[in-house]
Amino acid sequence: MRRTLTIVVSLLAILFISCSKPVPPEARKAPKTYTEFGHTRVDDYAWMNDASDPGLIDHLTRENAYTAAMLEPTNDLQKKIYDELVGRIDPDQSSLPVMLNSYWYYTRFEKGQQYPFFCRKKGSQTASEEIFLDVPALASGHQIFMIRGYSVDPGNSRVAYGTDTTGDRRCVLRIRDLSTGTDLPDVIVNTSGNYAWSNDSRSLYYVLNDPTVRAYRVMRHTVGTDPASDAEVYAEADSTFSVRLGTSRDHAFIFIASTSTLASEWRAIAADRPDVPPVLIQKRQPDMLYAVAEHAEGSFFIMTNRDAKNFKLVNAPVMSPGMAHWKDVLPHRPEALLESTEVLARFIVSQYRVNGLTTIVIRDRTTGTEANVQFSEPAYVAGLSLATDRYDQDSIRYTYTSLTTPRSEYRYDIPTRTASLLKRDRVPGFDPSLYTTQRVWVDAGNGVRVPMSIVYRTDRFAHDGSDPFLLYAYGSYGANSDPYFTSSVVSLLDRGFGFGIAHVRGGQEMGRQWYDDGKVLTKKHTFEDFVACAQYLVNERYTSVDRLFANGGSAGGMLMGAVINMRPDLFRGIIADVPWMDVITDMENPALPLTTLEYDEWGNPANREHYEYLLTWSPYDNVKSARYPAILATGGLNDTQVPVFSPAKWVARVREHNTGDDPILFKVNMGAGHAGESGRFERQKLTALKYAFMLHLLGVNE
């Protein structure tokens, strides 16, 4: 094996020296035939699905060598962009403190550190600081280090925390004694990173993963005992559901939420009685979602889509919480998607989505009157939060950001309806007055209008078709692609790029129906919306087809694969981050992570109607002989969400069928998972590489 690899690398070196242009690696073929519902599919690269095949690592290594050789002329540009990206990161970045159980909690960075310190102060923000998780020290010696979740016990003396050192989402649970700063002997592996404590601070609840990394089994651990004796509290037998834990703000209940794409089921455990089995709140029903928003005044407040497409808020007595006893608190609003809500003693504060923009609405519980928090920019996103866990508070916090406004946090006093800025992220060297942001509506056909958010530097964007443009989208799972400020994009804007976000169907920007119109048997709407937005940019002379780039990651990377099969002529280049491409084959394999959880998202290919629809758009199955644009795909060897073989196979197939001469590149992180590098500076290197890839195609090297 080692000798073979050495020979291959040596031959490549000879090729790179002797040729004026590096030669792309040629993946070996081992055809596998699939016959389903009278259709025949042939996968020449199915061997890559086997992670134990010794040829896979060799092939990925050669892909990295080819990408490095092709982008070698951009090394200086990459370094320059990297320095710009790091230079816009606040070296002393910190979060606003939040009061939980008598302590103010926050995170902060120190200059030069990749990772934050998790800190708290007792009672007052002027009290002495306690660092309860020194992440820079914990991360020492690891390429990847993530705190996936943590929970401090009600006695404020211990913290349970989960670490992931590979990026594969399998967390090691440890318990730290906060008085000594040392970890207890209790160590539990393969947890989801989701933890909750009983009120006696002795019982710790956690969730185990199954072999597909589905969080499915809730366990109760007694501190100081052998984890082998831990008690099972709940196990989710339906492989289309996953499990997570939550707690009520008043610490009275621990919740077990079992959820799928279209249905959910919650259980409650009295936090004072950890030995009592959980109580079912409402049995799962087809196509009915619900979630406990809060416990207060002897009732559960519940968000649900029962008889409410865009969700509503109901409540029910704790002693009889089933839907027969649900009473409307915030009625359904057909024009507004209810996204979240906070129940306070005097007010109910809710976050809605209206015409693609977030709105915060405050209702007086005594009078029933409502007031909206006011926002002014044409494209923005706001987020509701609370500063403390007190039930009787009369103020809220909210975050606000836009394509030209760095993340800002406000305190909003409800009685006076006044907002005061508490903190705005520092972005060294950024002047928002130099940039213009727009929100446009794109005709996608059949009366559908798709919102798109746009930003460019006013003095460097001609708007005459000569400018380069990067268009981003996601469009799946009901996840919104909001117009957040992203400091890295400034490096493109300052070089004359425009940047846009297409809010395509499959997200929920325009309400729940927007999501329903972009999944399973309507999934192609997502791709059609993106193509319509890209064509709009060309038609309206924001850019031209030889200067238009597109980017998406994961399911958004899959979107990239679908749209270039549809319109390879529309783009100069595509960046597909950790893209999921072999949709049908993966969805036929329930042993893969996420497959069983997502039948209601993509369809189940065991169903003929679903299969034949998937066959019309699956990116891998629809690669054709065409002049494809330049492509840069990325992957992670430890990725358990999009296994590395998915982009690897797709790149090989596109390269084989490409009739053009633009490069098809694949950059693999051999030590990371779906999220890539975990350090705040280290992750900027990939961004710099992606930007340099686009600029180099345009002949820009500075």
Buried b / exposed e over 473-486, threshold 16 CB at 10 Å, is bbbbbbbbbbbbbb
Residues 97 and 104: beta-carbon distance below 8 Å: yes
The end-to-end CA distance of the chain, in Å, is 42
Task: Spell out the SS3 assignment of 628-696.
Answer: CCEEEEEEECCCCCCCCHHHHHHHHHHHHHECCCCCEEEEEECCCCCCCCCCCCCCHHHHHHHHHHHHH
DSSP assignment of 249-276 equals TTSSEEEEEEE-SS-EEEEEEETT-TTS
Q: Is 324 exposed, middle or buried (0-12, 13-18, 19+ CB in 10 A)?
A: exposed
Query: Angle CA(80)–CA(85)–CA(89) in degrees, nearest 5?
Result: 140
Look up residue 525 and give its two tokens.
């709407």
Residues 206 and 188: beta-carbon distance below 8 Å: yes
Residue type, 531: V
638 vs 170: CA distance, rounded Å = 11
300 vs 316: CA distance, rounded Å = 6
488 vs 267: CA distance, rounded Å = 42
Q: Cα–Cα distances in Å, from 94 out to 97, 218, 253, 424?
A: 9, 33, 31, 11
DSSP state of 626: B
> Alpha-carbon torsion 21, 545, 450, 622, what sign?
negative
510 vs 499: CA distance, rounded Å = 21
Which residues are marked as active site? 554, 639, 674
Q: Cα–Cα distances in Å, from 119 out to 96, 132, 179, 491?
A: 11, 6, 14, 33
DSSP state of 327: E
Residues 124, 130, 134, 136: what is their CA dihedral angle, to the nearest 10 degrees? Answer: 70
